[in-house]
Chains A and B, each alone.
Chain A
């Protein structure tokens, strides 16, 4: 049982490049979400999904796209990276009833 798996763990991009952060969970969780963690700002919700085909914006959605074609996967896309997107990104999931989030190990992104 792997839980929540994020790839890559580290990535360096140049301004304007695009990339996708991958997130997969094997717990059959309905709810998945992406957060970014910045010093002094805690975790801020970027996008979330309550099931396959359903996504919604969180607190800081600008510059990011998501899709949820399967229950297991919830990729986060940066279409044109900016230095302000330098951060550590966490994917999290939860099943119905518990609402306790299971987090991935995080992806550290640096945009030059």
Chain B
């Protein structure tokens, strides 16, 4: 069965600091990987996704993530966070070709202005 582990449950950063959120998954076959974000009071929305090809993917608002197959990891990064990045971030995985998507526990990011 698929599972997703996010290493940090709460992160507090000052504006302009760099961000890296860890995500590891367990599944032996081909996977599609996602980061979703939930801003306060808003719907969950897609931040970025990896299906195949270049393991370094770029998303909205300057976020990027790197897929490292040998480590079963898909860490999210941003070089310089802004106050508006305050949100909850979820890593998710589904088995390649399937629709069933499993989420991690989420990381709450608070950026101090």
A residues whose Cβ falls under 8 Å from a Cβ of B: 30-31, 33, 35, 40-45, 48, 50, 58-59, 90, 92, 94, 99-101, 103-106
Main secondary structure of the interface of B (DSSP, over half): strand
In the complex the two chains form, is B100's CB within 8 Å of A42's CB? no
Main secondary structure of the interface of A (DSSP, over half): strand
**Interface residues of B toward A: which range?**
20 to 34
In the complex the two chains form, is B99's CB within 8 Å of A90's CB? no
| Nearest CB on A from B111, distance (A) | 20
Question: For residue B43, which residues in chain A have a CB less than 8 angstroms away from its CB?
Answer: 103-106
In the complex the two chains form, is B32's CB within 8 Å of A99's CB? yes
B residues whose Cβ falls under 8 Å from a Cβ of A: 6, 9, 32, 34, 36, 43-46, 49, 51, 90, 92, 94, 98-106
| Nearest CB on B from A14, distance (A) | 28
In the complex the two chains form, is B94's CB within 8 Å of A99's CB? yes
* Given contacts A100-B46, A100-B49, A105-B43, A43 and B32 within 8 Å (CB-CB): no
